Amino acid sequence: MTKQTVMAAAPVTDLSDSRFLRACRREPVDATPIWLMRQAGRYMPEYRALREKYSILELIKTPELACEVTLQPLNAFDLDAAIIFADILPLLEGLGLVLEFARGEGPVLHNPVRTAVDVEALLVLPPEEALPFTLKAIRLARRELEGRGIPLIGFSGAPFTLAAYAVEGGSSRNYEKVKGLMMGDPVTWHRLMEKLSEAVGHYLLAQAQAGAQALQIFDSWVGVLSPDDYRTLVMPYSHHAIEIARGGGVPIIHFSTNTGGMLELIREAGGDVIGVDWRIDLATARERLGNGVAIQGNLDPVALMAPWPELRRRARHVLDRAAGQPGHIFNLGHGVLPRTPVDNVRRLVEFVHESTRR
C-alpha cells in the first residue's frame, strides 16, 4: 500500500485495518509499518521555515499550524502513522506552571514544584479547558489524514517524566531534586503523582475522543530510577493513567528509554505496544516482554545520520531482530535528531516497506 495507491483510492473512514493499527493489535500486516518519533522537526526544511515565523509554543497552540506541522512528514514520506504536533510540557502549564522555551537552553519552568503547598496549588482542569489547542489540532489533523488512510497518534508525557520536569524546573543531570522529593517526602510525592496521573489519563482519553486512533505515553526520563523505585513510587501512577486512557478504546504505546534493567515492569504498568530504545536487542526485548504485547523500535537515531549503506545495514538488523513476527512497528529508539538528512528518512521508510513486503 504505497502513498500513491492510497491517494488514488476512495476516502477511507475506518482505519482500523491500516497497517499500523493492525500491528498494534499483533495482527498480520502486508509490510512492517514505520513512523518516527519527532518525525516533524528541525531536520525538515518545511518545519524550519515555519519556525522562522513562529515559536514552538505558537506552533503548538495554534491548531491550524499544529495540524500543518503534523502533516509535513506525511507529505514528504510514505509513513504509516502521523503523530499530533504537540509537546509534553503544556500539560504542566495547564496545571499552573509557568513554561518558557528559552533559546539554546531547552524548556524552563519558572515556578517548579518543591513542597506540599506547591503540589496542592496544582489544578487539574478538564483537558478541554487546559489543552484545548491540541484537542482542536487533533480534530483538524484527523480530518486531513482520513482521506489518506493514515491513522493519527495522540500522546502525553508519563507521570514520572512530567514530575521530573515539574520538580527540577527543566532538564537535569542527576535528578537530585525530584529524587530528593521522592525519597524525602513520600506523602507529597504520592499526592503529586496522583494529580499527574489523573491529568495524563484524562488528557490521553480526551485525545482519543477527539479522534486520535492510537495513544503514546512517553516516559523518556524514567530510566534514571531503580527498578524498586519504579515499582513502588511510579508504576501505580503510570498504570492509573493508562487505565483511564483505555476508556478511549484505542491502542496504547508505552515508550521509555534506559529501562533495559526493568522492561518487565514497564510492561506491567500497561500498554498494548511497548516502545524500546536501541540499548536493548529487539529479540531479547520480545523474549522478556512475551507475546502479549507488540513492540515498537528501535534504531539508534544517530544511525539515521550514517551513510546510506550503513543505515540500510542497521535497519536490516533491526528487522532481523524483530524476526518478521507480526506486532513490530519500526521506529527509532528516540526522536529524530536535527541534523538528520531528509533523504535518509525517505530511503529508510522505503526500505522498511520494500524489504518486509509479504
The single-letter code of the amino acid at 251 is P
- Annotation marks residue 51 as catalytic: yes
Total residues contacting its own copies by CB under 8 A comes to 37
Decide if residue 54 touches its own copies (CB under 8 A): no
Q: Which of 19, 22, 26, 38 is catalytic?
A: 38
| Residue-by-residue DSSP string for 248-284 | G-S-EEEEESS-TTSHHHHHHH--SEEE--TTS-HHH
Q: Which of 80, 87, 118, 219 is catalytic?
A: 87
Decide if residue 259 touches its own copies (CB under 8 A): yes
Specify the stretch interacting with its own copies by CB under 8 A; choose among 62-70, 137-145, 155-163, 177-185.
Answer: 177-185
Q: Which is nearer to its own copies, 226 or 291 (CB)?
A: 226
Which of 309, 327, 330, 307 minimizes the C-alpha distance to 318?
330
**Is residue 41 within 8 Å of 47, Cβ to Cβ?**
yes
- Annotation marks residue 25 as catalytic: no
- Name the residue with cell 514528504: 76
**Pick from 143, 310, 316, 357: which binds its own copies (CB under 8 A)?**
310
Beta bridge partners of 253: 216, 273
Distances (CA, A) of 162 to 21, 134, 152, 195, 197: 27, 17, 23, 11, 10
**Per CB under 8 A, which of residues 130..159 are in contact with its own copies?**
none
Decide if residue 228 touches its own copies (CB under 8 A): yes
- Annotation marks residue 321 as catalytic: no
**Cα–Cα distance for residue pair 2/132, rounded to 1 Å:** 34
**Per CB under 8 A, which of residues 274..293 are in contact with its own copies?**
278-281, 284
β-strand pairing of 106-109 with 152-157: unpaired
Q: Which is nearer to its own copies, 203 or 230 (CB)?
A: 230
**Which residues carry out catalysis?**
38, 42, 51, 87, 165
Give the binding site for its own copies (CB under 8 A): 174-176, 179-180, 183-184, 223-229, 258-262, 278-281, 284, 298, 300-303, 305-307, 310, 314, 317, 337, 339
